């Protein structure tokens, strides 16, 4: 018996039931946008071209250090994860790539993995290394750090792992390596913070030297956790300086949850763009710490402001500007597939809203120091409900007008619960 997948018939039936309402809403919005000099079909085409990568670690139920409550039909291995990623892309048509994490996604035949992904209509985005956990039979522990560990053998082990990830990524067709390290300290005095950064840079130079010519390495900063006094790559400034020092293939990755509350992340994005060092994003949302909540679920206006900087940079023809878009979330209380679909839609929404900002009116208001006028140009775009454009983009790309409703109508999760007998697993931590 082949594994269940959502049929074209069900998709067509679900769309047919919603098509007339969508056409009405789309036509009304198109008329309103035309009055603002915006071509809704062109906007829909731009939205159809938008893509974000799904993190393989995001399709399983996430958890915290306190507990993880796995749901029915959990993916048991990478191939189940790819099946769920394919289901997300089938319905929202905005997630054509997958970002894997090693060794969580380790397998024996990466060429076969690439082939299976291709059969699902998926490709691989940046690969993620993991030197923040010790693997069984690992020779040197990362308890006191990895790339910045005082032990040369532990650093060499971490460098070797990152170089292995590059080799795996090449087999998968990836073009980038994301390096996030948990290295830091919990007590003042525990670590010489200057020397720790030097050790990190020495290790990163070896990893940088192993990069193929057309690859990039993304340095991911994070303010704290799991280190709670100092973190080696704690902010965009350190990440930027390290990327500058390493060379043109090194850029900075902005995980939205890795900043202190109220930090102006959109300005960090503008700065990294200015210096050609914006490598990409891990999109999520947060209220307090690195909460890894669903994108756009807490601060949708901030997400819009980030995309406002990205669209402005694109229109300015910023150099070395090809940011990689990836989600990085932990789904502790929702069906991960539903959360990932809605998060991709919230990214499309922020992208579309940023595209309809009247940039000449905004520039004129800024030049005239018309503070409120300028702000209202952004608010006008942000308060435009572009949902019909997003739905039409999905429909024209062969997807679902209403992805979550269609997914629920399919009973996909119930089928997977039958196909995927629950596997006993330690049940703490994010995956
Ligand atoms: C660290 C992080 C990093 C991943 C991990 C799963 O908080 O954001 O990007 O490796 O989450
Ligand atoms: Mn991240």
Determine the 3-state secondary structure of 72 from DSSP.
coil
The rounded Å distance from CA 80 to ligand 2 centre is: 22
Residue 422 has pLDDT above 90, yes or no: no
Quick one: pLDDT at residue 428? 54
The CA distance from 155 to 309, in Å, is 37
The rounded Å distance from CA 273 to ligand 1 centre is: 22
Kindly give the number of the ligand 1 atom that is closest to the alpha carbon of 220: 9
The residue whose CA has the least distance to atom 9 of ligand 1 is 180
Query: How does the average pLDDT of the chain come out, rounded?
Result: 96
The residue whose CA has the least distance to atom 1 of ligand 1 is 180
Mutate to test the pocket of ligand 1, among 103, 255, 290 (most ligand atoms within 8 A of CB): 255
- The HSE-up count of residue 32 (CA atoms within 13 Å, CB side) is 14
The rounded Å distance from CA 182 to ligand 1 centre is: 9
- The length of the chain in residues reads 431
pLDDT tens-place string over residues 252-286: 999 999 999 999 999 999 999 999 999 999 999 99
- Percent of the chain scored above 70 by pLDDT? 97
The CA distance from 99 to 228, in Å, is 28
pTM of the model: 0.97
Kindly give the number of the ligand 1 atom that is closest to the alpha carbon of 101: 10
Residue 157 has pLDDT above 80, yes or no: yes
- Residues 52 and 347: beta-carbon distance below 8 Å: yes
253, β-bridge pairs = 220, 280
pLDDT tens-place string over residues 100-112: 999 999 999 999 9
The closest of 184, 183, 165 to 175, measured between CA atoms, is 165
pLDDT tens-place string over residues 298-310: 999 999 999 999 9
The rounded Å distance from CA 391 to ligand 1 centre is: 31
The closest of 225, 224, 208 to 216, measured between CA atoms, is 208
54, β-bridge pairs = 98
207, β-bridge pairs = none
The rounded Å distance from CA 417 to ligand 2 centre is: 29
> In the structure, which protein residues have their CB atom closer than 6 angstroms to any atom of ligand 1?
57, 128, 180, 220, 222, 255, 282, 290, 328
The closest of 240, 288, 238, 233 to 263, measured between CA atoms, is 288
């Amino acid at each position: 018996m082949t594994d269940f997948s959502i049929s074209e018939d069900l998709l067509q039936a679900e769309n047919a039931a919603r098509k007339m309402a969508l056409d009405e809403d789309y036509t009304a919005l198109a008329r309103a946008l035309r009055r603002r000099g915006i071509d809704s079909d062109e906007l829909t085409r731009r939205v159809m071209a938008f893509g974000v990568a799904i993190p393989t670690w995001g399709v399983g139920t996430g958890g915290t250090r306190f507990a993880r409550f796995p749901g029915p039909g959990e993916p048991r291995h990478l191939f189940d994860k790819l099946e769920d990623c394919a289901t997300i892309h089938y319905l929202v048509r905005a997630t054509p790539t997958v970002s894997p994490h090693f060794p969580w996604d380790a397998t024996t035949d990466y060429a076969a993995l690439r082939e299976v992904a291709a059969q699902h209509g998926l490709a691989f985005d940046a690969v993620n290394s993991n030197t923040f956990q010790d693997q069984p039979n690992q020779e040197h522990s990362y308890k006191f750090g990895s790339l910045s560990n005082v032990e040369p053998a532990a650093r060499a082990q971490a460098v070797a792992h990152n170089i292995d990830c590059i080799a795996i990524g090449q087999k998968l067709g990836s073009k980038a390596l994301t390096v996030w390290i948990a290295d830091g300290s919990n007590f003042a005095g525990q670590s010489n913070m200057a020397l720790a950064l030097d050790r990190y840079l020495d290790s990163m130079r070896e990893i940088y030297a192993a990069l193929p010519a057309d690859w990039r390495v993304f340095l991911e900063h994070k303010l704290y956790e799991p280190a709670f006094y100092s973190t080696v790559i704690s902010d965009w400034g350190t990440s930027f300086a390290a990327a500058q020092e390493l060379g043109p293939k090194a850029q900075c990755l902005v995980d939205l949850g890795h900043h202190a509350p109220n930090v102006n992340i959109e300005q960090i994005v503008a700065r990294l763009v200015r210096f050609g060092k914006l490598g990409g994003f891990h999109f999520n949302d947060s209220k307090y710490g690195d909460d890894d909540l669903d994108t756009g679920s807490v601060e949708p206006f901030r997400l819009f402001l980030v995309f406002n900087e990205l669209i402005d940079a694109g229109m300015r023809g910023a150099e070395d500007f090809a940011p990689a878009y990836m989600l990085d979330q932990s789904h502790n209380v929702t069906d991960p597939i539903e959360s990932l679909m809605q998060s991709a839609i919230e990214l499309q929404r922020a992208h579309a809203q940023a595209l309809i900002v009247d940039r000449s009116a905004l520039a004129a208001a800024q030049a005239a120091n018309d503070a409120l006028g300028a702000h209202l140009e952004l608010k006008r775009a942000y308060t435009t409900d572009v949902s019909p454009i997003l739905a039409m983009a999905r429909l024209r790309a062969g997807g679902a007008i209403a992805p979550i409703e269609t997914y629920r109508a399919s009973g996909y999760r119930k089928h997977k619960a039958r196909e995927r007998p629950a596997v006993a697993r330690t049940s703490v931590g994010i995956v």
